[in-house]
C-alpha cells in the first residue's frame, strides 16, 4: 500500500514539475534567415507572426463643463493646457469651433505628435485671442489651427 502511494505521489510530482517547467521555459528563437522571400505565402506568414505595435491614440469622452483647454491639461492627456490645439486638430472632423464641444462627444487623443507639431500648437494657443462667449460655431476662426 505504501509503495502504491509513493508511486502515485511520484507521478503527480513528475507531472507537476513537467507542467510548470514547460510553462516557465518558453523561449522564442530569433529569425536568422538572411534571404528575403517575396512570395505570397511568406507575406501571409509574416502578417500572422508580426507583433502588433501599440498605436499612440486614446479616447476621451467629454463631460459637462469640459473645454479643450481643461482636457489637454489632464495627466492622462497632455498635462499642458497650451496643447489644446492638438486635440482640435485630431478631431477636426467633429469639432467645428474649438470653443464649442458637446457633452458625450468622443475625442481622439493622439500621442505621436512631433516636437515641431507640439511647439506649433503651443504657439497657436498662446496667439489665440481671449475667449468671448458664443453659442454657435464661428464662421471664421481667429487662427488657422
- Is pTM beyond 0.85? Reply is no
> Does pLDDT of 17 surpass 70?
no
- 139: Cα within 13 Å, side-chain hemisphere: 0
Could you report the per-residue pLDDT of 55-99, keeping only the tens digit for each?
567 999 999 999 999 999 999 999 999 999 999 999 999 999 999
CATH fold for the domain made of 57-127: Membrane-bound Lytic Murein Transglycosylase D; Chain A (3.10.350)
Whole-angstrom CA distances from 135 to 64, 77, 84 are 15, 26, 20
Q: 143 pLDDT band (50/70/90 cuts)?
A: confident
Picking from 69, 64, 63, the residue whose alpha carbon sits closest to that of residue 87 is 69
What is the three-state SS of 81-118? Answer: HHHHHHHHHHCCCCCCCCCCCCCCCEEEEECCCCHHHH
Could you report the per-residue pLDDT of 26-59, keeping only the tens digit for each?
444 444 444 444 445 555 555 555 565 665 679 9
Picking from 136, 145, 67, the residue whose alpha carbon sits closest to that of residue 105 is 67
Amino acid at each position: 500500500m505504501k509503495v502504491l502511494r509513493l508511486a502515485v505521489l511520484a507521478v503527480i510530482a513528475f507531472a507537476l514539475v513537467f507542467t510548470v517547467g514547460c510553462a516557465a521555459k518558453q523561449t522564442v528563437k530569433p529569425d536568422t534567415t538572411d534571404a528575403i522571400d517575396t512570395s505570397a505565402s511568406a507575406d501571409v506568414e509574416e502578417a500572422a507572426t508580426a507583433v502588433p505595435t501599440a498605436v499612440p491614440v486614446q479616447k476621451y469622452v467629454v463631460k459637462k463643463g469640459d473645454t479643450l483647454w481643461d482636457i489637454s491639461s489632464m495627466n492622462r492627456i497632455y498635462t499642458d493646457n497650451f496643447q489644446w490645439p492638438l486635440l482640435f486638430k485630431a478631431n477636426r472632423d467633429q469639432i467645428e469651433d474649438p470653443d464649442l464641444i458637446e457633452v458625450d462627444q468622443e475625442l481622439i487623443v493622439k500621442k505621436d505628435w512631433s516636437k515641431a507639431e507640439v511647439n506649433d500648437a503651443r504657439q497657436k494657443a498662446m496667439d489665440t485671442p481671449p475667449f468671448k462667449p458664443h453659442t454657435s460655431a464661428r464662421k471664421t476662426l481667429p487662427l488657422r489651427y
